Chain A
Amino acid sequence: MKLPIITLAGALNLPASTIERWIRQGRIPIQRSGTSGTEVIFSHAALEKWAATHNLPFSLTGDQAEDLLPETLESLVSAMQRGKVCHRVAGDDAAAVLRSAVDRIDFLSEEIREELFEKLMEREQLASTGIGNGIAIPHPRDPLSRPPETPVITTCFLEKPINFNAIDDQPVSVFFILISPTVKHHLHLLSRLSYCIRDKAFVSFLNQHPDAAALHSRIAEFEKQLDDL
């Protein structure tokens, strides 16, 4: 096989100057090619064997390159659009409300919904997710055992405000239930959501229990501001 030395250095995850030195010192089964000096010849199988005996990583397929690409993080709106907007969610205490809220998430299977509820309760017992201004963001602490491929946010407007042990002791009337495939997604969405909630006008807008379309367009406005920042 003939490859530029830079590509090979990438495949072995080593600096190109190290590879050059090793070739010179004869520590790696690679030959320099021709006059240009920037290309190398090697046998793929021999190099693979060599890398394995020396505990070095070696992969030419370029999957490392994919790993290195920054993950494309979802926007808040698309996550919300994938979820649902539920009005008049009933219940007298935290557990009951969460129960009925989870039951409304009908795009998940029965089994997963059960797991979700348990994880949500577990998380609430640790510390309340009520972040003030009558808003709570219930979420499982760790991703579900079979998480959805993309993050989903379900917005629930409660029938009547309930006591949720929120940090400002106000009763809670809005839930954003966050289900994310990875912690990274989760933090990303959480930071975006908390940006929105800091806005007073948005809070009062939420208290009017808007419908899905109005909510999404409002959130999209916020996200535009965020992206411009």
Chain B
Amino acid sequence: MARLFKKLKYPGSWSLFRSDDRLLLILFAIAVGICSGLAALVLNRSLETMLEWLHHYRTYWWAIFLPAAGAALSSLFLEKIVNEGAGHGVPEVIYAVSRYGGLLRLRSSFSRLISSCLTIGSGGSAGPEAPVVMSGAAIGSNIAQAFSLNDRQRVALVGCGAAGAIAAIFNAPISGMVFAIEVILGEWSTMNIIPIAIAAVAGTEVSRLLKGNQIAFAHRDFNIHFNDILACVGLAICCALASILLTRALRSIHHVSKGVALPKWIRAAIGGSMVGAIGYFLPYALGEGYHAIRTAIDGEFSGGLVLVTVIALVKILTTSLTLGSGGSGGIFAPCLVIGAFVGLSFHRFLAAVWSSALWVNEGCFALLGMAGLISGILQAPLTGIFLIIEITGGYGVILPLIVVSAISTTLCHYLEPASFYLKDLVEQGQLLRPGTDARVLTDLSIQELLETDCICVHPNMRLADFIGIVKSSHRNYFPVEDQENRQFVGMIHLDDIRPYLFDPAMHHAVLTGQLMNTHVKTVSLHDDLSEVLQKMDEGRIFSMPVVSDNRFLGMISKATLLDQYRKELMVQTGRF
């Protein structure tokens, strides 16, 4: 019995899966997809319930404090109960994937669900998608941990979790798949794509079974003309500007809030009450805002150009206030809202300037605006394109969609080189995509590159004896160690002493202690390889001694590094 249990715990070692684990991954992908789909639905349901429940109180004046209470509670929950930092968690997932093979904590699988439910349900302007992605990823990671899967399999399951979550919440399997691969994993390989696709299917199916197969923002057909496609360029520029504005606003409010010497939950509460106050006058700026999107796409939004533009700007402000001050949630849904209103205002502007021209329905522009904003913020054009197609069910708009996504991504890339999710990681140098130089250098450790075939000499050796050692060695470097306590005192490099080697008069007159270089740069065992390489480049040296606790451990050289680097790269990028 115990044996069977043990065997079940290590499915990776079953002979069926030992040499090829695709089948195993597919089975796990189904499980992960279902679980993360359920997680997404739970959040979705509880948000709906909460909104409904609070709806009656919106008309009271004290409703402006609802978002404050929600944000404070969510911050307290994250800080005190589950002990996690604030934020939406996607960078954490990417960090874990690139550095620790996707190891995530069990608590992450529910913490963000609860905290974002509190933030958004109470009216904070944020999206439920990033928390769901984090939960899905954590579910995948913990399933992999429970069954002792290895890093590669675990990373695939983390991707499965993210894909399943996005697929379930939007009823959009392709977007889930593309998001997981483009944003979370950053690696397109069949090994990953197949399980992730399966998980996306499983997640979508769960959502369809429990919620019904409905397209989130269904719309009527649009009649797109050539001049609309031309106008898309202008729309894309507006979207790019809005994306940049949102990114910058988020960051500056985060910065300001960090500088305030108050407990985190009070900061969150202050941000929340500001959001509440704004929302009292402009309810469109509250919550995830799906309702607003629906009216915009249907072309039934009644406000004029000024109102629409103001809503877009205010939504940027409330989102920055909610997330920047410490509320919990994602940026996906606010992006969609802002995009829709940017699209609307652009349409109104066009209609006002060229009133004679025949423009497509404004709903189409709202839709294109959403794609533009998603692509701009995430700098993931494929995710933007597929998401909009799937959530609106409109393949007919694909051409302008691609144009807007492409231009918006490119423009944003000029001003903000890293996307919203990756910015922190890039700043810390922690974005380690598979197969990149940074990743290979991080994976290799100095321990693995250590050349231990050096012969140590002691400083009281005559040159003649040293030459004897040189004869029997095939290296150019000789570490010098103190005879008694084996402390490292210096290095002898053959190049430095070549002139004396062939001078017999010196052979008995000079000691190795006089020949050695005592100011040699050393490396310690736990140094980062990229730093070591930088040191080597600066000093134009090809090898350096590795010294730990004043003991010589071995040499590290560029030659061995190249050898190992190549092998590592082949194994990392090669087919399994």
Contacts and interface: CB of A to CB of B under 8 A. Distances in A.
- A–B proximity contact (CB within 8 A): yes
Contact of A56 (B152, B445, B448, B570): B570
A46 B150 contact: no
A25 B101 contact: yes
Nearest to A46: B19
Contact of B150 (A18, A25, A55, A56): A25
B83 interface: no
B18 interface: yes
A75 interface: no
Contacts of A24: 101, 150-151
Given A24-B101, A25-B101, A27-B152, A15 B570 contact: no
Given A21-B448, A31-B13, A55-B570, 18 more contacts: A17-B445, A18-B444, A18-B448, A21-B445, A24-B151, A25-B443, A26-B152, A27-B571, A27-B572, A29-B19, A31-B12, A43-B18, A43-B19, A46-B18, A53-B575, A54-B571, A56-B570, A56-B571
Nearest to B153: A26
A54 B570 contact: yes
Nearest to B450: A15
B469 to A, nearest CB: 15
Contacts of B18: 29, 31, 41-43, 46
A22 interface: yes
Given A41-B13, A46-B19, A26 B445 contact: no
Interface in A1-37: 14-15, 17-18, 21-29, 31
Contacts of A28: 571
B564 interface: yes
Interface residues of A, number: 23
30 contacts: A15-B447, A15-B448, A15-B449, A17-B447, A18-B564, A18-B567, A18-B568, A21-B445, A23-B150, A24-B151, A25-B101, A25-B152, A26-B151, A26-B152, A27-B152, A27-B571, A27-B572, A27-B576, A29-B18, A29-B19, A29-B576, A31-B12, A31-B13, A41-B13, A42-B18, A46-B18, A46-B19, A54-B567, A54-B574, A56-B567
Interface in A135-155: none
Given A26-B150, A26-B152, A53-B574, A21 B101 contact: no
Contacts of A29: 18-19, 576
DSSP class of A's interface residues: helix, strand, loop or mixed?
mixed
Contacts of B152: 25-27
Interface in A25-81: 25-29, 31, 41-43, 46, 50, 53-56
Contacts of A15: 447-450
A53 B150 CA distance: 21
B524 to A, nearest CB: 16
The CB with the most chain A CB atoms within 10 A, among B12, B444, B571, is that of B571
A21 B443 contact: yes
Contact of B571 (A17, A22, A41): A22
- How extensive is the interface on chain B, given as a class? 20 to 34
Contacts of B101: 24-25
A194 B30 CA distance: 78
A43 to B, nearest CB: 6
B572 to A, nearest CB: 7
B567 A14 contact: yes
Interface in A60-105: none
Contacts of A18: 444, 448, 564, 567-568
Nearest to A29: B19
A15 B445 CA distance: 11
B15 to A, nearest CB: 8
Interface string B1-45: 000000000001100001100000000000000000000000000
Nearest to A25: B151
Contacts of B567: 14, 18, 54, 56
A121 B440 CA distance: 56
Contacts of B572: 27
Nearest to B151: A25
Contacts of A54: 567, 570-571, 574
A23 B575 CA distance: 16
Nearest to A16: B448
Nearest to A22: B571
Nearest to A41: B13
B569 to A, nearest CB: 10
B561 to A, nearest CB: 12
Nearest to A30: B18
B303 to A, nearest CB: 54
Interface in B422-459: 443-445, 447-450
Contacts of A27: 152, 571-572, 576
Nearest to B576: A27
Contacts of B564: 18
A15 B560 CA distance: 11
Contacts of A46: 18-19
B11 to A, nearest CB: 11
Interface in A103-131: none
The CB with the most chain A CB atoms within 10 A, among B12, B149, B567, is that of B567
Contacts of A53: 574-575
A124 B443 CA distance: 57
A221 B89 CA distance: 81
Nearest to A50: B576
A151 B570 CA distance: 43
A46 B564 CA distance: 22
Nearest to A31: B13
Nearest to A18: B448
A26 B17 CA distance: 13
A41 B151 CA distance: 18
Contacts of B153: 26
Contacts of B574: 53-54
A120 B153 CA distance: 65
A104 B13 CA distance: 70
Nearest to A28: B571
A46 B575 CA distance: 13
Interface in B33-63: none
The CB with the most chain B CB atoms within 10 A, among A25, A29, A41, A50, is that of A25
A137 B564 CA distance: 45
A152 to B, nearest CB: 27
A56 B575 CA distance: 13
A23 B568 CA distance: 13
A27 B448 CA distance: 16
Nearest to A55: B570
A28 B575 CA distance: 11
B185 to A, nearest CB: 14
Nearest to B10: A31
A226 to B, nearest CB: 14
Nearest to B567: A56
A17 B445 CA distance: 9
Interface string A195-207: 0000000000000
Nearest to A42: B18
A32 B449 CA distance: 22
Contacts of B149: 26
